[in-house]
Amino acid sequence: MIDILFPYETPFGAEPTLTISAMRLDGKARAIPPLEDAILNLYEDASWKEAVFDLNLTCRGDALQEFEATQGAVSAFIVTHCKPTNTRQSLRLQRSDRELGRWSGKLELARDNFRNRVELATILTATVGRVENRPVAFAPPWAIHVDEPESLRIGKTLPIRWENFTLPTATSPCRDFPKSTHIVRFTDKLPELVLNSGFVGLESLLEDRKDRKGADKGLHDLLRTGIARSVWMVLLSDAMAAIVKPETSEDDGPDWPETPWQAEVLKLILPEIDPTKSHRELLTLAVNDWREPVSAGVFYSRAEAIIGDLINSNETIRRFVGTYRGEDNQ
């Protein structure tokens, strides 16, 4: 549902829905892959030059009919926007002669014009109060990934590698912290977790083995979840700093970070901070209240507890304590 307040009359209840009925890459029909959160991934077909989509837009015809009886005809548009290339193109959809609340059209995308993520916005417009082309309804937005996104949903975890922090040839910032067990290193893609192979005994403690039992297994699990907890706190701090702030007072307010993994981290944690707040309210709190000295401390203390449950750290400790006490009594 699109949560927008309009300062003029709109066709209430006529929120449109955009669907893709067919897809062709370089003229060849392709099956539409399973969609998640209105996201279409095309990066696995790396060689395509042109993509064509058959689009259908539908909404409640009775709501439109009532609105158009007093305000005039409604038009439908698709606006595509790619931030990395600053490419923007629009498509006017054709209205059905038989169904009042249905439009269709063919969207053509040239691969050379786009990078990373293409956003699809669907807008219904009409003349309202004698002002032409006023937006009166929006469909939930779509996204097309033409390149593999920097997303935690793809690999489900950060890239992990070992490096000896004690060597002069160690990469930055690892060589600056030779006594540390790990570092989160930020790259132009996903951040990576770098583990210190120069930390004596760390590799054997973290190694996955099925024969671990008792205190040995408990230490292994606690070390892994402890590292995970600290990594998540680093990711959260970076994601909080990346929230898109409104440029003017007339903007809709703050928005999710443009980098997918940063938005994913916030969408996991912020709603748990205060389940009574909407996404817009949470983002407003994040860029205002939760950056102040006292409220920032409260926010991060709550976030740290939430992350403990998210990575099952608290459950791991409870399980270890129960097992260790059982062994202790034998």
Give the neighbor-by-neighbor strand order of the sheet with 94-95. Answer: 28-30, 17-25, 50-58, 102-110, 94-95
Distances (CA, A) of 99 to 58, 64, 73, 82: 9, 11, 14, 32
Residue 1's pLDDT is what? Answer: 44
- Running DSSP on this structure, what letter comes out for residue 97? S
What are 122's strand-pairing partners? 78, 139
Residue in this structure with the two tokens 């700093």, named with its chain if needed: 241
Residue 84 tokens, joined: 């990395």
CATH of residue 32's domain is 2.60.40.10
pLDDT tens-place string over residues 66-80: 999 888 899 999 999
Domain assignment present for 70: yes
pLDDT tens-place string over residues 102-160: 999 999 999 999 988 899 999 999 988 888 889 998 988 888 989 877 767 544 578 89
Give the torsion sign (CA, 10, 14, 15, 20): negative
pLDDT tens-place string over residues 197-218: 999 999 999 988 888 887 888 8
With vertex at residue 317, the alpha carbon angle to CA 316 and CA 323, rounded to the nearest 5 degrees, is 90
Residue 59 phi, psi dihedral angles, 5° rounding: -160, 175
Q: Judge contact between 195 and 174, C-beta under 8 A.
A: no
Q: Which amino acid appears at position 101 of this protein?
A: G
Domain assignment present for 316: no
pLDDT, greater one: 37 or 187: 187
108: nearest Cα among 29, 24, 210: 24
200's CB contacts (< 8 A; 6+ apart) are none
Domain assignment present for 249: no
Domain assignment present for 93: yes
Q: Which value, in Å, is the radius of gyration of the alpha carbons in the chain?
A: 25
Read off the pTM: 0.62
Q: Judge contact between 180 and 215, C-beta under 8 A.
A: no
Q: Which residue segment(s) compose the domain that 141 sits in?
A: 17-148
Distances (CA, A) of 8 to 13, 69, 213, 250, 282: 15, 16, 67, 16, 27
Domain assignment present for 172: no
The count of C-alpha atoms lying within 13 angstroms of the C-alpha of 228, restricted to the half-sphere facing its C-beta, is: 20
Tell me the average pLDDT of the chain.
Answer: 87
Report H helices in 28-144.
61-71
Domain assignment present for 3: no
Q: Are strands 131-145 and 39-41 parallel, antiparallel or unpaired?
A: parallel
Domain assignment present for 86: yes
What total of structural domains would you count in the chain? 1
Residue 130's pLDDT is what? Answer: 83
pLDDT tens-place string over residues 40-51: 888 878 789 999
Domain assignment present for 60: yes
pLDDT tens-place string over residues 238-282: 999 999 988 766 667 898 888 888 988 999 999 999 999 988 899
Q: Judge contact between 119 and 81, C-beta under 8 A.
A: yes
What is the CB neighbour count within 10 angstroms for residue 135? 16
Length, in residues, of the chain: 330
